[in-house]
Structure 1
Amino acid sequence: MKGFQKIVHILKRQNVLALFICIVGIAINLVLNTVAVTMDLPLYLDTVGTVSVAVLGGYLPGVIVGLVTNIIKSISNPTSLYYVSVNVLIAFFATFISKRGWLKHVAGIIGMTLAFVLIGGGLGNLIPWFMEGLSFYSKSMSEMLYETGYFDALSSHILSSIVMEIPDKVATVLIVLIILYLVPEKYTDRLGFVWWAQKPLKDAEFDLTDKSKTRISSLKLKVILTQALSLIVISVVGVSLSVGIYRETIIDEHSRIATGTAKAAAAIIDGDRVDEFIKKGHDAKGYDDTLVILDNILQNSTEIEHLYVYKVLEDGCRVVYDIETDDIEAKKTGAIVELEERFHDYVPKLLAGKEIEPIVTDDSRLYLLTAYYPVYDSQDRCVCYVGADVTLGVINSKINSYLTEMISVYIGLFVVLCVLMNWMAEYQVSLPLKTITNRVYSFVSSDNTQKELDEKVKSLREIDVRTGDEVELLYNAVCNMSSNQTEQIRSIRRLSDSTAKMQDGLVITMADMVENRDSDTGAHIQKTAAYVKIIVDGLKKKGYYAEKLTPKFMSDAVRSAPLHDVGKIDIPDEILNKPGKLTDEEYEIMKTHTTAGKRIVENAISTVEGDNYLKEARNMAAYHHERWDGKGYPEGLHGEVIPLSARIMAVADVFDALTSPRIYKEAFSLVKALLILEEGKGTQFDPKCVEVFMDSLDEVKVVLSKYNPEAL
């Protein structure tokens, strides 16, 4: 408990300090940026605090300062929120460079400055390029570059922005270096957020933990990658859906604008004189007056690109009015215009004088939204249509602007969340597991004296992992296992002399146990037979191996189960009942009980004709230690090549061994035993046998309550 209280004390003290420098960093950003704007300096100075805190405190404080700074600035300037990604990425790279000690060298300082310039001048100015309503900095320089003919508009803009970014980032780095000089180096390790879920490590221990070996990648990296990929998928789906909805909304909005414009224009046209207007054009009285009004309507409708009035006929359209713009030359009044292909499906409605929905044309040649509204004469007959075109390039521009805003914010939040996940995984998963691994490896890596073992058990317990999850459970299990192993070794050493004296007596006793040589044989036989029956019944119920599971086979399998370990009669007592782990040689001898059992049962089969159930007894005795993946013994059979009865017995035998007490272990709980079976499904065991066993837990518990109630 004292260890945990110490951890809490360290967390409070250091995290309060880290929070304080975050507040200071945010204040520095805002104050310096305000000064630069007020004095009209060619600088921004809104990342000085971000970089300083990132260098001093690490990734998490740095990205927090970058994020919060832009959120606060967005209160007065909403576009600041879209630059979160820039500030956060600068914090990330500042920490990355600082942690590697590159700031102690001139090349590292120059490299960091260039990185900031590329982020601020590159990404930072791509954002306004794709967004409407944001001013472009260094406009005159970009124009000069563009006019040289060597650069297009975008590259001119980016290149000029990068050049203009250099003074700001040079000033930022110089100020940061001054701050670093003023802050004593001994305090820099105390300015980051920590979340120790164990005894805090010293620098030497931390370095050792950080260099611990992994097979391919660390668990922390896997956790971060999994969460990062999840965030990416969610972000991509979210942005895609959002942009899709936004696009539909924008199109609907412009459809209403186009329809409203066409309707307003139709209201000022005298339908009774349309034919006269077509015939006489400008010579018709009132024609030019109406033309002026239509031109005013077009000029006041900023979203409308083209406004015209056509009379739809069988052979095409007659031009009544066509408003000329800078981009579109007006067609002559009375001219016949061929009806475009995109309107062919609407010709019947147009000839009938009916209203039609706005038409969106989206192909490689044309990207247009057109709204038609009928003009009526005094007899309420449709005499022509007003057409209003909206170029969807305008809509695309708005969609691109919206997409840029979304992506920019998502990038910033993504970096923040990744850094936060890295921080949490570091202290809650990676460091505890690495520390436990190092202590355990030290514990088992050499031939230790009893005193050394006691010290290492003490060292392991001093870690005091307090994650409150499976890591803590694992830690406690490892501590208990190490402690028990140490005590067992102590007992073995104390009893080594007396063990030698007891050997003769044990040999005599074992000789009297021909029928029950293993410590739990009788009950083992009864339990495994019961489990075999449960499994074969379950397989039958689910329809698995229907051709094989005949009533005779099911009966033979259950009757044969008690003979599966008959070959152990050939195994020496000192191996059969050895309390510890078998040596390689002993294990090879123990494995021969399968071939011995096969031989004994085959001898029985040859002398007792008609007892066909012994064929399954032979299969069980010979092959119940074969594995589904082919790594078992004695013949290395795999999959369904292994006799079904032996595959069934493999599950029953292992489960009983797990839930039964032995001289070298206590009985595992039902939950733990089932977990081990589940882990072996598809590798050690037939998956279908494990599945039906898991589905029959009520029946399994009945057997356990009778023979091994302590396992429940």
Structure 2
Amino acid sequence: MKTKDLPRLFSARHNLTALILCAVGVAVNLLLGYIVGIMGLPLYLDTVGTVAIAAMGGYLPGVIVGFATNIAKSISDPVSLYYGILNVLIAALASYFMSRGWFKKIGGIIGSVFVFTLIGGGIGALIPWFMDGLTFDSESLIGVLYETGYFSLEVSNILGSLLLDLPDKVLTVFLLIVILKIIPEKYYDMFSIKGWLQTPITGENAATTEHSEVRAISLKNKIFLVLGSSLILVAAVATAISVTVYDKTLVKEHERLAQSTAKIAASIIDGDRIDEYLKTGGDTHDYNRTKDHLREILLSSTDIAYLYVYKIESDGCHVVFDLDSGDVPGEPIDTVIPFDREFEDKLDDLMAGKSIDPIITNDRYGHLLTAYEPVYDSNGRCTCYVGADVDMSRLTDMVKSYLTELISVFSGFFIVLCVFVIWLTRYHLILPINSISKCADDLSKATDTQDELDWNVRKIRELDVHTGDEIEALYNSFCKLTLGQAEQMRSIRHLNDSTAKMQDGLIITMADMVENRDSDTGAHIQKTAAYVKIIVEGLKAKGYYAEKITPKFISDVVRSAPLHDVGKINVPDNVLNKPGKLTDEEFEIMKLHTVAGKKIIEDAISTVKGENYLKEARNMAAYHHERWDGNGYPEKLHGEVIPLSARIMAVADVFDALTSPRVYKPAFPLEKALSIIEEGKGKQFDPKCVEVFMDSLPEVRVILQKYNKDA
């Protein structure tokens, strides 16, 4: 087996364990539900396993357990499937509450009980309400609430359901807290279902990779919006078609029922005796016997609301038989009932004794589907019609119940499917893309050292994205690109190092040329460069001039420090190497070395475009004799107007001059030189530069002793 296949094998074993634990959660739900059922307790406890698995394992295991529980229960109780949405909602919310730490706080525990009760008791009350209408036992809590007279039937139904469900949810959350206390938190990961298609991400990186910064809408939210809207649209269309088909089927079935009932009733009526029944007012034995038979036919089907016999005349429908139906008494015999307007286009056929198609009416008798069957006498003449009515409101209730069933079942499947797709999208799209994006962002910031760049390239390759699709192809291309970029940067850095060494060599050569003309400045450039390095690093350590002192600034100042006296190449030898004190005229000539140095370096800068480290060399050459109080030369600059590199060099240059022997003076003792530097603080020198120089005396002594053997 390949080494890279081991994580996938471990992931498969982990998920198998998680699915087994999900099965245990379903078993806990079924077992607790069975126990409270046989004990006759007013509880359900069929969500304990759901909330426990959801809290420890996350959304996907939770909704799997929730919906699987109701599917299992529907084997013996089909209605349970319609309540799957409740278990799924509770699972999703339990996982959310756990991620927010609700189950560790009293307020969160109370809030979760309240929310779970609203779902179980609130939505749980609406499902049977819409499916079967509002019914209750007068001795039940709902009946007691209703009979107080304070609440309507609807409010009593919901309030009673909430109160009945509250103890169940209190005990459910209590058991959940106990389970969370018993099982150590380190084992919670066993309950989650993984789908890694890359090296798993743990710790702080998991949170940053999960949520990336986006300009508008994240990819995860876009997928959820597209998926959710698509599923809802498809479900709405499918539900509309299904309900329409179901409604038409119901109507057709009840049309056939009404027609067959009317035919059966017509078969027992003697068409030759209709006029006799009307003349005698139904006061005959045969009339009463026929009426009894018709009543038996009416009672044989709960779907038939009314059964009657009319003789059609020009003035209306003359009642021959009209059976009592529930609380609605039948019309007396020979009562004339006006034609309904729905029958106006059928009157000619009725008067002619022809058969007509079933008609749907909505009048004082209600919303009815009516089927008429003609009754013939022995001569084949139609003497009356049998009418059988189906109450359409019952059909409407059946359609509403069917719609509620569809919505309940679909809603449960919808949440399960959404959670699964979000889980799938997370591991197949979001995490791989965000991981690659984060590595690319880290790589873009890895510009300081080659080691940092190489480390980021290794981190990218360690992702091991293996989604098997375009994302994997993108990842492989990105790996090749970053590896090539790292090698290219390595070559560029080698070239830069070589160029920098050559430049440094040229600087030292130029500085040595100047120093070799000056018989009195032994190792001056080496010592001043070392002192400059000590001062600039001390300023950075203390946070002084932080906006100015960058790694590039430090490098530029230290590298170009040897050129600070390059202008002395223009000073005549008789002035530069005079053993005694310079005259005023000679000193003015000596002061011109700053102007000359500035011009020499500016000429060098002009030959190179872009950023150039010689700019700080120019500043030091031109202004290292300026004073903090503005009494220096050549431009009498003062304070922070003097370039920082020149202020640093001023301290280094003067200190080296004080501690080094000259033909016209011996080297000052270290304490004397330091006291002079301290006296110049805030006058000749930048106070901060003096401060960090004084704080770095151990390093200064090392440099001094290295080059001044007598120090």
User: How high is the TM-score relative to the length of structure 1?
Assistant: 0.68
Counterpart position of 2:4? 4
Change (3 A) 1:441 1:21: same
Q: For 1:460 and 1:362, locate their aligned partners in 2 and report how far apart those are by CA, in whole Å.
A: 74
Counterpart position of 2:404? 404
Q: For 1:9 and 1:297, locate their aligned partners in 2 and report how far apart those are by CA, in whole Å.
A: 70
Aligned residues: 504
Change (3 A) 1:166 1:137: farther
Q: Is the 8 A contact 2:53 2:61 kept in 1?
A: yes
1:222-272, Cα deviation, whole Å (9 max, x unpaired):
112211111111111111111111111111111111111111111111100
Counterpart position of 1:615? none
Q: Is the 8 A contact 2:210 2:430 kept in 1?
A: no
Counterpart position of 2:416? 416
1:604-619 to 2 correspondence within 5 Å? none
Q: Name the SS for the 1:320 alignment partner.
A: strand
Q: Is the 8 A contact 2:446 2:456 kept in 1?
A: no
Equivalent AA in structure 2 for residue 347 of structure 1: L
Q: Name the SS for the 2:132 alignment partner.
A: coil
Q: For 2:449 and 2:154, locate their aligned partners in 1 and report how far apart those are by CA, in whole Å.
A: 73
Counterpart position of 1:476? 476
Q: What's the CA shift for 1:438? A: 0.9
Q: What's the CA shift for 1:134? A: 10
Change (3 A) 1:485 1:209: same
Counterpart position of 1:187? 187
Equivalent AA in structure 2 for residue 197 of structure 1: L
Q: What's the CA shift for 1:370? A: 0.5
1:21-57, Cα deviation, whole Å (9 max, x unpaired):
1011011011111111111111111111111111111
1:40-80, Cα deviation, whole Å (9 max, x unpaired):
11111111111111111111111111111111111111111
Q: What's the CA shift for 1:282? A: 2.5
Q: Which runs of 5+ in 1 are unaligned?
A: 501-581, 584-712
Equivalent AA in structure 1 for residue 441 of structure 2: Y
Counterpart position of 1:66? 66
1:347-375, Cα deviation, whole Å (9 max, x unpaired):
11111111111112369995220110111
| 1:241 has 2:241 as partner | yes
Q: What's the CA shift for 1:9? A: 2.7
Q: What's the CA shift for 1:464? A: 0.7
Counterpart position of 2:298? 298
1:44-123 to 2 correspondence within 5 Å? 44-123=44-123
Q: Name the SS for the 2:304 alignment partner.
A: coil
Equivalent AA in structure 2 for residue 198 of structure 1: Q
Q: For 1:417 and 1:484, locate their aligned partners in 2 and report how far apart those are by CA, in whole Å.
A: 42
Equivalent AA in structure 2 for residue 68 of structure 1: A
Q: For 1:326 and 1:493, locate their aligned partners in 2 and report how far apart those are by CA, in whole Å.
A: 99
Change (3 A) 1:133 1:328: closer
Counterpart position of 1:263? 263
1:290-324, Cα deviation, whole Å (9 max, x unpaired):
11221222122211111111111222121111112
Q: For 1:365 and 1:227, locate their aligned partners in 2 and report how far apart those are by CA, in whole Å.
A: 48
| 1:204 has 2:204 as partner | yes
| 1:312 has 2:312 as partner | yes
User: How high is the TM-score relative to the length of structure 2?
Assistant: 0.68
Q: Is the 8 A contact 2:258 2:370 kept in 1?
A: yes
Q: For 1:152 and 1:370, locate their aligned partners in 2 and report how far apart those are by CA, in whole Å.
A: 35
Equivalent AA in structure 2 for residue 289 of structure 1: R
Q: Is the 8 A contact 1:138 1:164 kept in 2?
A: no
1:492-530, Cα deviation, whole Å (9 max, x unpaired):
344459999xxxxxxxxxxxxxxxxxxxxxxxxxxxxxx
Q: Name the SS for the 1:380 alignment partner.
A: coil
1:583-602 to 2 correspondence within 5 Å? none
Q: Is the 8 A contact 1:317 1:336 kept in 2?
A: yes
Considering only aligned residues, what root-mean-square deviation do their CA atoms show, in Å? 2.5
Q: Name the SS for the 1:76 alignment partner.
A: coil
Q: For 1:404 and 1:311, locate their aligned partners in 2 and report how far apart those are by CA, in whole Å.
A: 43
Q: Is the 8 A contact 2:137 2:143 kept in 1?
A: no
Counterpart position of 1:617? none
Q: Is the 8 A contact 2:457 2:479 kept in 1?
A: yes
Q: Is the 8 A contact 2:446 2:452 kept in 1?
A: no
Q: Name the SS for the 1:193 alignment partner.
A: coil
1:212-611 to 2 correspondence within 5 Å? 212-361=212-361, 367-495=367-495
Equivalent AA in structure 1 for residue 228 of structure 2: A
Equivalent AA in structure 1 for residue 55 of structure 2: V
Q: What's the CA shift for 1:445? A: 2.5
Q: Is the 8 A contact 2:134 2:154 kept in 1?
A: no
Equivalent AA in structure 1 for residue 485 of structure 2: Q
1:149-168, Cα deviation, whole Å (9 max, x unpaired):
33322221111000000111
Q: For 2:273 and 2:255, locate their aligned partners in 1 and report how far apart those are by CA, in whole Å.
A: 28
Q: For 1:489 and 1:78, locate their aligned partners in 2 and report how far apart those are by CA, in whole Å.
A: 68
1:175-205, Cα deviation, whole Å (9 max, x unpaired):
1111111101111123200000100011211
Q: Which runs of 5+ in 2 are unaligned?
A: 501-608, 611-711
Q: What's the CA shift for 1:471? A: 1.2
Q: For 2:317 and 2:325, locate their aligned partners in 1 and report how far apart those are by CA, in whole Å.
A: 20
Counterpart position of 1:678? none
Deviates further, 128-137 or 381-390? 128-137
Q: For 1:148 and 1:177, locate their aligned partners in 2 and report how far apart those are by CA, in whole Å.
A: 38
Counterpart position of 1:150? 150
Change (3 A) 1:252 1:173: same
Q: Name the SS for the 2:18 alignment partner.
A: helix
Q: Is the 8 A contact 1:128 1:136 kept in 2?
A: no
Q: Name the SS for the 1:114 alignment partner.
A: helix
Counterpart position of 1:132? 132
Q: For 1:137 and 1:494, locate their aligned partners in 2 and report how far apart those are by CA, in whole Å.
A: 90
Q: Is the 8 A contact 1:51 1:176 kept in 2?
A: yes
1:618-657 to 2 correspondence within 5 Å? none
Q: For 2:3 and 2:460, locate their aligned partners in 1 and report how far apart those are by CA, in whole Å.
A: 13
Equivalent AA in structure 2 for residue 166 of structure 1: L
Equivalent AA in structure 2 for residue 379 of structure 1: N
Q: For 1:363 and 1:203, locate their aligned partners in 2 and report how far apart those are by CA, in whole Å.
A: 71
Percent identical residues: 48
CA radius of gyration, larger in? 2
